[in-house]
């Protein structure tokens, strides 16, 4: 069938772009999806590689633990193994992501419905789903955490549902346990209050099962939008249209009354039960622990449709950093910054950084605050962060712009010398535990700790050579052919305000070999009426 016109890349275009950029590893040797695939890609997140070294992996020869082979390749790390991969998928510079998402949310574009679509090139319905290899068992869904997970789980799976009252669709990314050829689980992470849960409650009140469609692989703009927390009542497909500046092609599903992306790779259709729940998990979750068994929803599959050249997307999650954390972080940081600066008028906040390694971006938040900001505004920013989201900010630290938020040594440095816990720390009780292992202590509640680790007064300079001397030394280092330098802030000294002209003059004389002159000057300043360690400025 002829493919509908579109003004945005689909997944195949994106993979070709990654290949041309040298960011794709093609694996043609046989790979077991149940024991080898995710552990192999996981190594680039736990093997000491810098983020820019991480790549997407395309597996073309996939089999399962029983030796069954699949005709569908699997891509892992293809959406957000690194910021550069994310940037290529979104089609804009990294420093324009905030602007791009803000524009898309303010100017959503309704999708364009088509009659024929690539995602309907192969359609399997009814009793055909019970034929071996034609139900969910025909999709090469990997086991994400071998040794802990109790089944293969779809991970980059966008669940589409519709509000039965308003008719507005919602699309969110949730895991799905493969339970039988025609039964797929669903965990909607209720602590995040997702739209799909609100829809489920409405269908339950009506005494009806909830129609749903699960997208496995889609144009990158659709996937990126599905992982962001948008206001309730907003159709993510309209915001995806805003991201690419044109309508997203959609087609009516075959067995449920929903619109799905026309260029989706694979679509699973069915009905989610609203009366019965059944056990789901264990599964290695993005908060870095195994999510133990819970009662959750399940979907009875009514159709599986796919492209003839479908590629399954799977996402690296579990212990962070991961693809799951980065795909959220890249857009969440600028969204929080925009909320503080524009929503609350806090122009003093110049950057929001979500700590990713091990903590999964929501627990520790670092705020860059402009120098000279009034103390009340610093605290308004600290309170403002935790008010943005029920699961954001167990620890929030305000620092000055000279502190590298990616360097925890630098954060501890600011906390050690610029923060007095007695007057610069607040504990906020009655917070939601958020995404993570549950504790019964304190009735299941948690708390937030806020620190003002900004400079409140002038401090002496950082005790490292000035920048000009470090740069000259670096040139000599490179001339000698020594190992590549990777500077970590602070790598040169700079003033923090407590540095006068007379001190600057003495330092200048020292590097000019004129320190004897300084010795003569200070000899004339001898006193007998002070104790040792009395500061000259006092």
| 185 belongs to a structural domain | yes
Q: Is 453 helix (H, G, I), strand (E, B) or coil?
A: coil
pTM of the model: 0.88
Same domain for 427 and 306: no
Q: What is the pLDDT of residue 443?
A: 77
User: Are 239 and 351 in the same domain?
Assistant: no
Radius of gyration of the chain (CA): 28
Domain that holds residue 490: 467-523
Q: Is residue 337 part of a domain?
A: no
Does residue 251 sit in the same domain as residue 394? no
Decide if 473 is inside a domain. yes
What's the total number of domains in the chain?
Answer: 3
Contact 310, 138 (CB under 8 A): no
Three-class SS state of 512: coil
Residue-by-residue pLDDT tens, the chain, 538 positions? 567 899 999 999 999 999 999 999 999 999 999 999 999 999 999 898 889 999 999 999 999 999 999 999 999 999 999 999 999 999 988 888 888 988 999 999 999 999 999 999 999 999 999 999 999 999 999 999 999 999 999 999 999 999 999 999 999 999 999 999 999 999 887 766 678 999 999 999 999 999 999 999 999 999 999 988 888 889 999 999 999 999 999 999 999 999 999 999 999 999 999 999 999 999 888 888 888 899 999 999 999 999 999 999 999 888 888 988 899 899 899 989 999 999 999 999 999 999 999 999 999 999 999 999 999 999 999 999 999 888 799 999 999 999 999 999 999 999 999 999 999 999 999 888 777 777 777 777 889 999 999 999 998 999 989 999 999 999 999 999 989 998 988 999 999 999 999 999 999 999 999 999 999 999 999 999 999 988 887 6
Q: Which pLDDT does position 303 carry in this prediction?
A: 98
- Which residues are 157's β-sheet partners? 216
The answer to whether residue 60 is domain-embedded is: no
39 CB-near residues (< 8 Å, 6+ apart)? 146
Q: Do 150 and 101 fall into the same domain?
A: yes
The answer as to whether 41 is a domain residue is no
DSSP 483: P
Task: State the CATH number of the domain containing residue 163.
Answer: 2.30.110.10
pLDDT at 2: 67
448 and 471, same domain (yes or no): no
Helix spans in 339-466 (H): 375-386, 408-418, 421-424
């Amino acid at each position: 069938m002829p493919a509908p016109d579109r003004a945005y890349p689909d997944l195949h275009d994106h993979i070709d772009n990654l290949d041309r950029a040298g960011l794709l590893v093609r694996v043609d040797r046989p790979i077991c999806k149940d024991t080898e695939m995710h552990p192999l890609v996981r190594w680039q997140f736990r093997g000491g590689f810098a983020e820019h070294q991480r790549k997407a992996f395309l597996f073309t020869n996939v089999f399962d633990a029983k030796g069954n082979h699949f005709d569908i390749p699997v891509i892992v790390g293809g959406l957000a193994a690194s910021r550069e991969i994310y940037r290529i998928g979104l089609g804009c510079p990294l420093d324009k992501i905030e602007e791009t998402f803000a524009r898309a949310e303010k100017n959503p574009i309704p999708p364009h419905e088509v009659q024929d679509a690539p995602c309907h090139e192969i359609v399997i319905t009814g009793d055909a789903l019970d034929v071996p290899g034609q139900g969910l068992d025909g999709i090469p869904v990997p086991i994400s955490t071998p040794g802990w997970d109790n089944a293969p789980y779809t991970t980059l799976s966008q669940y589409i549902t519709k509000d039965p009252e308003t008719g507005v669709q919602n699309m969110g990314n949730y895991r799905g346990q493969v339970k039988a050829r025609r039964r797929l689980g669903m965990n909607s992470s209720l602590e995040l209050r997702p739209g799909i849960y609100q829809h489920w409650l409405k269908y339950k009140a009506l005494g009806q099962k909830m129609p749903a469609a699960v997208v496995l692989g889609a144009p990158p703009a659709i996937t990126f939008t599905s992982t962001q927390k948008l206001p309730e009542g907003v159709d993510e497909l309209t915001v995806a249209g805003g991201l690419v500046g044109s309508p997203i092609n959609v087609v009516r599903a075959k067995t449920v009354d929903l619109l799905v992306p026309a260029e989706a790779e694979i679509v699973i259709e069915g009905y989610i039960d609203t009366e019965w729940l059944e056990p789901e998990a264990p599964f290695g979750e993005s908060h870095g622990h195994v999510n133990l068994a819970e009662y959750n929803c399940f979907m009875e599959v009514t159709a599986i449709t796919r492209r003839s050249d479908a590629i399954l997307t799977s996402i690296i999650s579990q212990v962070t950093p991961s693809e799951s954390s980065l795909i959220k972080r890249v857009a969440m940081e600028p969204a929080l910054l925009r909320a503080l600066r524009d929503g609350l008028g806090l122009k003093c906040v110049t950057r929001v950084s979500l700590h990713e390694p091990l903590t999964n971006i929501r627990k520790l938040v670092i705020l860059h605050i402009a120098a000279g900001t009034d103390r009340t505004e610093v605290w308004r920013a600290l309170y403002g962060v935790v008010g943005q989201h029920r699961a954001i900010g167990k620890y929030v630290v305000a620092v000055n712009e000279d502190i590298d938020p990616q360097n925890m040594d630098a954060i501890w440095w600011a906390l050690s010398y610029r923060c007095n816990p007695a007057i610069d720390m607040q504990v906020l009780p009655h917070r939601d535990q958020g995404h993570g292992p549950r504790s019964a202590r304190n009735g299941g509640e948690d708390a937030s700790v806020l620190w003002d680790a900004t400079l409140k007064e002038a401090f002496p300079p950082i005790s490292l050579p000035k920048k000009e001397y470090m740069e000259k030394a670096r040139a000599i280092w490179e001339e000698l052919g020594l190992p590549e330098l990777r500077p970590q802030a602070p790598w040169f000294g700079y003033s923090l305000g407590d540095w006068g002209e007379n001190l600057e003059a003495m330092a200048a004389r020292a590097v000019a070999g004129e320190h004897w002159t300084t010795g003569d000057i200070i000899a004339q300043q001898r006193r007998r009426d002070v104790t040792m360690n009395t500061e000259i400025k006092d």
